[in-house]
Amino acid sequence: MKKLVVLSGAGMSAESGISTFRDAGGLWDKYPVEQVATPEGYQRNPELVLRFYNERRKQLTSVEPNQGHRLLARLEKDYDVTIITQNVDNLHERGGSSHIIHLHGELTKVTSSYAPNDSRYIKELKPEEYEVKIGDLAGDGSQLRPYIVWFGEAVPMIETAASYVSQADILVIIGTSMNVYPAAGLLNYAPVGTQVYLIDPNEVNVQSSRKIEVIRKGASEGVAELLTRLRQ
């Protein structure tokens, strides 16, 4: 089976009703990124940061995967599919995909404030535990924090992700502005022979001179179009 790797970003979930970050009216317009998505912001005001992610988590219970997520799952019949996502939602999982690498963490998980990447302290929350409060503790006695990779923090899954991209026959980039590194740099790991598709309703400024087949559509229609093109 051919190896098909997807690199998805916030636009993948836009049609499910989750805001992107950098589009007009996006999340970073409403919440300053340095307050809610950096270790310094968390140190300064942990309560605000917990509340921000509690809201994001609560939103998960009211949104559904869109056709784009579902069609990606269907690709598993014909391809060996790996989804590398920058998204912290669980819509790829709920859309039926079985092999997902979360580069920037997962909303449904919490971890230790001292050692966020220590697997002993990473815990999956049940929906009734989605509201994390000051005083809720990790296994090492530290405050529970969201299992999210914040700006300025290491991205532990990047090497695993790069290794999948370096073996891809087909790479499909969906709904990411390709602004945030190291995720955006993953394209550089695709071998010259890899066929690269990009699905986005807007123009994306990709820092690469390689040939990319652009599908200028939203995620649902765009993935449907991808399926048609792959069949040709």
Interface stretch with ligand OAD, choices 71-79, 128-136, 199-207, 223-231 (CB under 6 A): 199-207
- Beta-carbon neighbour count of residue 125 at 10 Å? 18
Least separation in angstroms between CB 156 and ligand OAD: 13
Establish if 49 lies at the interface with ligand OAD (CB under 6 A).
no
22 binds ligand OAD (CB under 6 A): yes
Query: What does the DSSP assignment read for 91-145?
Result: HHHHTT-S-EEETTEEEEEEEESS-TT-GGG-EEPPGGG----TT-B-TTSSBEE
Residue 170 touching ligand OAD (CB under 6 A): no
16 near ligand OAD (CB under 6 A):
no
99 carries an active-site annotation: no
Q: Which of 5, 3, 14, 6 is nearest to 221 (CA)?
A: 14
According to CB under 6 A, which one of 81, 107, 200, 206 is a site residue for ligand OAD?
Answer: 200
Among 7, 14, 71, 122, binds ligand OAD (CB under 6 A): 14
What is the amino acid identity at position 15? E
* Minimum CB distance to ligand OAD, residue 29 (Å): 10
SS3 of residue 18 by DSSP: coil
- Bridge-based pairing state of the strands 170-174 and 195-199: parallel
Torsion angles phi and psi, residue 217, rounded to 5: -145, 165
Number of residues in contact with ligand OAD under rule CB under 6 A? 26
Rounded to a whole number of angstroms, the minimum distance from the CB of residue 168 to ligand OAD is: 19
Applying CB under 6 A, does 179 fall inside the site for ligand OAD? Answer: yes
CA distances for 141 relative to 44, 122, 124, 137, angstroms: 20, 13, 17, 5
Name the residues that contact ligand OAD, by CB under 6 A. 9-11, 14-15, 20-23, 26, 37, 86, 104, 149-150, 175-177, 179-180, 200-202, 204, 218-219
Active site residues: 104
